[in-house]
Structure 1
Amino acid sequence: MAFTLDFSTPTPLGYFASLVRDDDLLPLFEAAASIAQDEYPDLDVQQVLGDVDQMVARVKRRCPEDAGALQRLRVLNQFFFRDMGFGGNVNNYYDPDNSYLNAVLRTRRGIPISLAVLWLELAQGLGLKARGVNFPGHFMIKINLPNGQVVIDPFTGQSLSREDLSERLEPYKRRNGLVDDFDVPVGLYLQAASPREILARMLRNLKEIHRTQEDWLRLIAVQDRLIVLLPDAWAEYRDRGLAWAELGDLRHAVEDLETFVEHADDALERGAIEQRLQQLRRALN
């Protein structure tokens, strides 16, 4: 029996799917960098990885071999936030480029989560025990040191005390009724986020930008990735279906909305989408 070998280049979505298939082997930085291929189709992700490897080598040369974790952390923060000048894009926070790591490397500007993903890759190269944190409204970094834990705001490089974190949480807690008897400790908001959770948050940031701008084609590209990343997140099928409907592609809209209705738990939401489905089916026929 003869076998045919396929040497064709995978599509950007196929490449992303191969990276996020296995939680234990998921390469966060590479998968995050590959998101930009939707906007930059000629992007060489391996070149981006190579550029960051060079940054790791540079910061490593600044650390004595016997440097402790705290010293390595100080060296990294000096290198990243001061010498390289990375920081938050305060002038154009909702620019999609803030979520594309190739653009962040070029402009040295990003949003908390994209800056954190880059910082974490450098921290890993220095052997620091650092993780991303899905803090409400603002992604954070936490670093475990021999004498305790440090929490850093990747937007500014500022180290945050427990009081700082509590103050930042207050508006979120009030909005969600998490006060008095329903209050919970700050530590519960500092759980480490998995690579899959970080990628989902990055994509949902882009999703919100595209939805606000009614950029349905770009939104659908993001939804494709979210569905690959989170195949059981049925609301993502709903949102992709509604975007297809906005574009006038009723067949794809119906397929996605039927998938949502079949699996959705919320009866109220399911009922609203069933009404929309009836309208779309009538338009199709």
Structure 2
Amino acid sequence: MTNDFERLRGLCAGDGERIDLLEAGFLLSVLGRGESIDLAPFRQQVTSMATDLADLVHRRGATPEALAEVIARSYAYRGDSETYDDLQNADLVRVIERRKGLPVALSILYMHVARAQGWTAEGLAFPGHFLIRIGIDSARHVVDPFHEGAVRDAADLRRLLRQVLGGDAELMPAYFDAVSDRDVLLRLENNVRLRLARREDWAAAARSLDRMLAIAPDREELLFEAGQINARLDKRRAAIAAFQRILELDGDPGLRQRASALLQELRRGLN
């Protein structure tokens, strides 16, 4: 597993704007299970979808609806609204096996296939429901992978927003800001972490945070939570290392102050 952690860190090094999302997602699946997986058939299925999209575009032209025709209709991928909180929905390998998952997991497949076609593809900062934007030539389209790759117009997006934020919510430009690939991966794994925390499975939640820190090693909020969980698990040296790293970063003063106080408390406990 150490090598898989190093591979994940390597994939996510740099500015994090563009990452091989598919391979990073597969590594998260392997690390989450703690056992080796033959990834060849899963890579092959995604390659087949990309090949089928290229063939469809060659025959009918480049449209965002072609993504849905291949992924949602030909390969039957859909959002899992029935068992939404099932951990399998955030495991990319299980998503491919089951042909259903969370919005962000499905989005990774859509983005990979779109990019293989030479289109631009990026996640959006839309609240509460993960959406992607596909760029084809000079046109950009908002696509909803959870709902069978539907291409969303402004009226659709307003309705979706009001389902999440309430009936008075209005669309704002910030909701259409692009997010980095690093943040897409963090969002995927955060779905795992939150579900484990709800179950109070703190040991597994700590391992999920380790995977998130492999993706974003200097995210202060992740380091702080890792420190808290490891302290809860009586893994004091791991907790101390997390809080110490926060103090080494030039970040949020309030968080640094809280980390410093907890660090002193933990160090007293070692004496």
- How would you bin the TM-score normalised by the shorter chain? 0.7 to 0.9
Asked if 1:37 is matched to 2:30, the reply is: yes
Matches within 5 A, 1:13-52: 13-22=5-14, 23=16, 26-40=19-33, 41-52=35-46
For residue 185 of structure 2, the aligned residue among 156, 177, 199 is: 199
> What CA distance in whole angstroms lies between the structure 1 residues aligned with 2:57 and 2:220?
50
1:262, CA displacement in angstroms?
A: 4.8
Which amino acid is the alignment partner of residue 118 of structure 2? G
* Preserved CA contact (<8 Å) 1:136 1:169: yes
Partner of 2:235: 249
> What CA distance in whole angstroms lies between the structure 1 residues aligned with 2:218 and 2:116?
33
Asked if 1:85 is matched to 2:96, the reply is: no
Partner of 1:5: none
> What CA distance in whole angstroms lies between the structure 2 residues aligned with 1:267 and 1:57?
50
Q: Secondary structure at the match of 1:151?
A: strand
1:35, CA displacement in angstroms?
A: 0.6
For residue 162 of structure 1, the aligned residue among 150, 154, 161 is: 154
For residue 96 of structure 1, the aligned residue among 87, 99, 117 is: 87
String of CA shifts for 1:196-221, please: whole Å, max 9, x gaps.
Answer: 12112212222222222222232222
Q: Secondary structure at the match of 1:21?
A: coil
> What CA distance in whole angstroms lies between the structure 2 residues aligned with 1:56 and 1:279?
54
String of CA shifts for 1:34-55, please: whole Å, max 9, x gaps.
Answer: 1111233212344432331123
Alpha-carbon RMSD: 2.9
1:121, CA displacement in angstroms?
A: 1.6
Give the structure with higher Rg (CA): 1
Matches within 5 A, 1:1-285: 11-22=3-14, 23=16, 26-40=19-33, 41-61=35-55, 63=56, 65=58, 67-70=60-63, 73-145=64-136, 148-157=139-148, 158-170=150-162, 186-263=172-249, 265-285=251-271
1:106, CA displacement in angstroms?
A: 0.4
Question: Normalising to structure 1: TM-score of the pair?
Answer: 0.81
Q: Secondary structure at the match of 2:85?
A: coil
From the superposition, tell whether residues 147 and 250 of structure 1 become closer, same or farther in structure 2 (CA, over 3 Å).
closer
> What CA distance in whole angstroms lies between the structure 2 residues aligned with 1:142 and 1:126?
14
Which amino acid is the alignment partner of residue 208 of structure 1? L
| Greater relative contact order (Cα < 8 A, sep 6+) | 2
Q: Secondary structure at the match of 2:115?
A: helix
String of CA shifts for 1:180-202, please: whole Å, max 9, x gaps.
Answer: xxx8x634311222211211221
> What CA distance in whole angstroms lies between the structure 2 residues aligned with 1:173 and 1:82?
30
Q: Secondary structure at the match of 1:69?
A: coil
1:146, CA displacement in angstroms?
A: 5.2
Q: Secondary structure at the match of 2:134?
A: strand
> What CA distance in whole angstroms lies between the structure 2 residues aligned with 1:54 and 1:93?
27
Question: Normalising to structure 2: TM-score of the pair?
Answer: 0.85
* Preserved CA contact (<8 Å) 2:114 2:134: no
Unaligned runs of 5+ in 2: none
1:139, CA displacement in angstroms?
A: 0.8
1:270, CA displacement in angstroms?
A: 4.1
* Preserved CA contact (<8 Å) 1:166 1:186: no
Q: Percent identity?
A: 26
Which amino acid is the alignment partner of residue 57 of structure 1? T
Unaligned runs of 5+ in 1: 1-8
